[in-house]
Amino acid sequence: MAVALLVAAGSGERLGSDRPKAFVVLADFAEASDELAEKLQSFVKEQIAPYKYPREVEFVEALPKTATGKLRRSELRLLQPR
């Protein structure tokens, strides 16, 4: 599997906008590409309600976590793309 870790959150680009966005950490052997992003979006559409699929997919090096390993969702927008 090309994905090591994935989290979906609202992009919050505009006030009142909560479009799903996926932040993806890839496995060491995988490379980020538009094709992989589209595959991930299609997979989600098949598994859950189509309106819930992430409109954006951002590949990142790592996800921000607390000392106890919990995800810091508030810091997701600050991540640098891979």
Q: Tell me: the pLDDT tens digits for 30-54?
A: 999 999 999 999 999 999 988 889 9
10-23 average pLDDT score? 70
More confident residue, 8 or 10: 8
Q: What is the pLDDT of residues 48-82, one digit of tens each?
A: 988 889 999 999 999 999 999 998 877 876 765 66
Question: In this predicted structure, what is the pLDDT of residue 15?
Answer: 45
Task: Delimit the domains of the chain by residue range.
Answer: 3-78
Separation of alpha carbons 37 and 21, rounded Å: 11
* Domain spanning 3-78: CATH 3.40.50.300: no
Single pTM value for the model: 0.80
Tokens representing 44 are 């989600």
Left if phi > 0, otherwise alpha if psi is -120 to 50, otherwise beta: which for 12? left
Q: What share of the chain is helix, strand, coil (3-state, %, to 5)?
A: 30, 30, 45
Helices (H), the chain: 34-47
Tokens encoding 29 = 């052997």
